[in-house]
C-alpha cells in the first residue's frame, strides 16, 4: 500500500517477521479444503509474503485459513528501499525471493520487462478480474510485451493535504477543511499560505515537513513525468520536473520546511508533537499518521493543491522461485478482493483500486473520526478520479530518489539549487 517512498519518502521500518498460521491447498478460486484427493490431509506448505510495511493483512490471513487450513504464512517486512533492492538481487541470483511480494507502483516498471522472472497470473485465472480495476492500475501489472499478468493491484494513493487545525488557528488561518482547501487551489498559493504561517511565528512549528513529498506530488500531477510515451527518460528536459524542483527549493528558501525526511524517527515525532502544520497526504499516509498517536482530531484533511492525483499504491506479484504458485495466486486473489479492499480502506486507509467501490457507500460515505470526521471516502476517491496516469518506467524510483537527494542537499546547505540540480541530472544519467 503504500507506495514509492525512497529515503525521504519511505517508511523506515526495521525488518521484522510475522508468522501467522494459515493454509492452502486445492480448490480453484481460493476454496481449497486442505484435503488431498485421496481424502488424506493435504501436505502442509509454507507461503512467504514480503512487504515493506504493515499492510494490516493478518485478519485476512485468518479468512484464508478457513478454506486453506494447511498452509503456514510467514510475513517478512523490510524498509522500503531494502525491500525493492533485495528483490532485484533475488531475481538476478535466482534465490531468496518470497512466494508473494509487494511491489510499489513507482518500482513496478523495474520488473514488468522481465516476465520470465514471475509466474503469469493468467495461468491461475486471475485475468478474469480485469474489468474490476482502474484501467491504468491494471496495466501497471501487465508485462511490457503484453504477454503476462504479473501482479494484481492492492490500493491507489489518492492525494490530499493533511494539516494541523491547532497550528492553523495559532497562525490566524482558517481551520475548517473547506476553507483550508480554498487557500491553495494552486501550489503557488500553497507557498503564499506558508509565508503567512511563517510570518505568524508559531512557536515550535514550521509550515511543512520538507520539500520531497511536494516535489513528487507536483511531478505526478503533470501529464508527463520522468518518461515519455516510448519510455525514454526525459526528467532533465521536462519543464514539469524542473517546475516541481523549483517549488521544492522555494519551500526551503521561504523557511517553510521543518527539514524532516519523511518516515524517519524525527518525522514521526513531528507528526505526534505538531512540529509542522501540513504534509502531502496520499490516502495510505493517514494510517501512518494514526500510528504515531498524535491524538484524535489533531490532524484534518483538505484538498491537495493542483487538483487531485495519485502517490503510491502497490501490486502483489509471484516470483517464479515460489514453489506453490497456485496457493499463492489464491491468496492474492483474496487479499485484493472487493471485500478485502473495503476492509483495508476502513482499517488502514488503503484506497481501493476497484472503481466500482468509489460509489459504494461503505467507501464513498466513510468518515474518519480520528481526522475530525473528515469524509475521507469522498476526498480520496475524488482525487483518484481526477488522476491522469503517467508512463512509469523501470528506473522511476531511482530517478525520484536522485531529485529528492538533490533537494536534501539544498536544505542541508551542502549545495546551492543549481549545483544540486546538476548533480541530480548526473545521478539520473547513471541509473537510467
The per-residue pLDDT for range 232-289, each reduced to its tens digit, is: 999 999 999 999 999 999 999 999 999 998 888 999 999 999 999 999 999 989 988 9
Q: Cα dist. 120→68, 111, 155, 178 in Å?
A: 22, 13, 21, 46
d(CA 298, CA 300): 7
pLDDT of residue 304: 93
Does residue 377 carry a pLDDT above 70? yes
Residue 216 and residue 179 in contact, taking contact as beta carbons nearer than 8 Å: no
**Average of pLDDT values for 377-389?**
80
Of 223, 214, 242, 151, the closest CA to residue 390 belongs to 223
Total Cβ atoms within 10 A of residue 416: 11
d(CA 353, CA 132): 9
Query: In the chain, where are the structural domains located?
Result: 13-156+313-371, 159-311+390-431
Which residues are CB-contacts of 51 (< 8 A; sequence separation ≥ 6)?
Answer: 57, 75, 76, 77, 83, 102
**Average of pLDDT values for 409-414?**
96
**In 3-state terms, what secondary structure has residue 207?**
strand
pLDDT of residue 27: 34
Domain 159-311+390-431: CATH superfamily, name plus number = Periplasmic binding protein-like II (3.40.190.10)
Average pLDDT over the chain, rounded to an integer: 89
Of 264, 282, 297, the closest CA to residue 368 belongs to 297
- Percent of the chain topping pLDDT 70: 91
Digit-coded pLDDT (tens) for 137-188: 999 999 999 999 999 999 998 899 999 999 999 999 999 999 999 999 999 9
Does residue 213 carry a pLDDT above 80? yes
Q: Cα dist. 377→281, 336, 374 in Å?
A: 14, 18, 9
pLDDT: is 9 or 105 the higher one? 105
Q: Pull the grid cell for residue 19.
A: 508468522
Does residue 93 carry a pLDDT above 80? yes
pLDDT of residue 20: 38
Digit-coded pLDDT (tens) for 60-72: 999 999 999 999 9
* Phi, psi dihedrals of residue 150, rounded to the nearest 5°: -100, -20
d(CA 400, CA 407): 11
Considering the domain delimited by 13-156+313-371, tell me its CATH architecture: 3-Layer(aba) Sandwich (3.40)
Q: What is the 3-state secondary structure (H, E, C) of 3-17?
A: CCCCCCCCCCCCCEE
Q: Of the given ranges (35-39, 329-333, 363-367, 423-427), which has the lowest mean pLDDT?
A: 35-39
Of the pLDDT bands very low, low, confident and very high (cuts 50, 70, 90), residue 382 is confident
Residue 91 and residue 122 in contact, taking contact as beta carbons nearer than 8 Å: no
pLDDT: is 387 or 143 the higher one? 143
How many CA within 13 A on the CB side of residue 209?
A: 30
**Average of pLDDT values for 370-387?**
86
Digit-coded pLDDT (tens) for 290-314: 989 999 999 999 999 998 788 889 9
The pairs formed by 93-98 with CB atoms below 8 angstroms and a separation of 24 or more are 94/321, 95/321, 96/321, 97/50, 97/319, 97/321, 97/322, 98/48, 98/49, 98/50, 98/319, 98/322
Does residue 128 carry a pLDDT above 90? yes
Q: Pull the grid cell for residue 175.
A: 481551520
Amino acid at each position: 500500500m503504500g507506495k514509492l517512498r525512497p529515503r525521504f519518502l519511505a517508511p523506515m521500518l526495521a525488518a521484522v517477521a510475522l508468522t501467522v498460521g494459515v493454509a492452502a491447498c486445492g480448490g480453484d478460486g481460493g476454496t481449497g479444503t486442505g484435503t488431498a484427493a485421496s481424502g488424506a490431509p493435504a501436505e502442509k506448505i509454507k507461503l512467504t509474503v514480503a512487504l515493506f510495511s504493515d499492510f494490516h493483512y493478518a485478519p485476512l490471513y485468518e479468512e484464508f485459513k478457513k478454506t486453506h487450513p494447511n498452509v503456514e504464512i510467514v510475513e517478512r517486512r523490510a524498509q522500503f528501499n531494502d525491500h525493492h533492492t533485495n528483490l532485484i538481487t533475488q531475481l538476478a541470483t535466482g534465490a531468496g525471493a518470497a512466494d508473494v511480494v509487494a511491489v510499489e507502483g513507482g518500482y513496478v516498471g523495474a520488473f514488468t520487462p522481465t516476465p520470465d522472472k514471475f509466474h503469469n497470473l493468467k495461468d491461475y485465472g486471475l485475468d478474469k478480474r480485469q474489468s474490476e480495476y482502474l484501467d491504468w492500475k491494471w496495466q501497471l501489472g501487465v508485462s511490457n510485451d503484453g504477454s503476462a499478468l504479473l501482479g494484481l493491484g492492492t490500493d491507489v494513493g489518492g492525494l490530499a493535504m493533511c494539516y494541523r487545525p491547532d497550528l492553523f488557528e495559532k497562525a490566524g488561518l482558517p481551520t475548517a477543511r473547506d476553507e483550508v482547501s480554498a487557500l491553495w487551489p494552486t501550489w503557488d498559493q500553497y507557498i503564499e499560505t506558508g509565508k503567512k504561517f511563517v510570518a505568524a511565528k508559531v512557536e515550535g512549528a514550521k509550515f511543512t515537513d520538507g520539500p520531497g513529498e511536494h516535489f513528487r506530488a507536483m511531478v505526478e500531477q503533470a501529464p508527463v513525468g520522468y518518461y515519455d510515451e516510448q519510455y525514454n527518460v526525459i526528467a532533465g528536459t521536462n519543464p514539469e520536473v524542473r517546475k516541481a524542483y523549483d517549488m521544492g527549493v522555494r519551500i526551503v528558501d521561504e523557511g517553510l520546511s521543518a527539514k524532516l525526511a519523511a518516515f524517519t524517527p524525527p518525522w514521526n515525532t513531528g507528526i505526534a508533537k505538531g512540529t509542522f502544520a501540513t504534509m502531502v497526504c496520499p490516502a495510505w499516509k493517514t494510517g501512518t499518521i494514526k500510528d504515531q498517536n498524535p491524538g484524535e482530531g489533531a490532524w484534518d484533511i483538505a484538498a491537495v493543491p493542483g487538483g487531485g492525483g495519485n502517490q503510491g499504491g502497490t501490486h502483489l506479484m509471484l516470483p517464479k522461485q515460489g514453489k506453490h504458485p497456485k496457493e499463492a495466486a489464491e491468496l492474492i486473489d483474496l487479499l485484493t478482493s472487493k471485500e478485502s479492499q473495503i476492509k483495508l480502506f476502513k482499517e488502514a486507509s488503503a484506497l481501493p483500486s476497484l472503481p466500482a467501490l468509489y460509489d459504494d457507500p461503505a467507501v464513498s460515505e466513510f468518515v474518519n473520526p480520528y481526522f475530525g470526521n473528515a469524509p475521507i471516502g469522498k476526498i480520496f476517491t475524488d482525487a483518484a478520479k481526477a488522476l491522469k496516469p503517467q508512463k512509469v518506467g523501470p528506473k522511476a524510483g531511482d530517478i525520484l530518489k536522485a531529485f529528492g537527494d538533490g533537494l536534501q542537499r539544498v536544505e542541508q546547505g551542502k549545495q546551492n539549487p543549481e549545483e544540486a540540480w546538476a548533480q541530480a541530472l548526473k545521478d539520473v544519467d547513471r541509473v537510467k
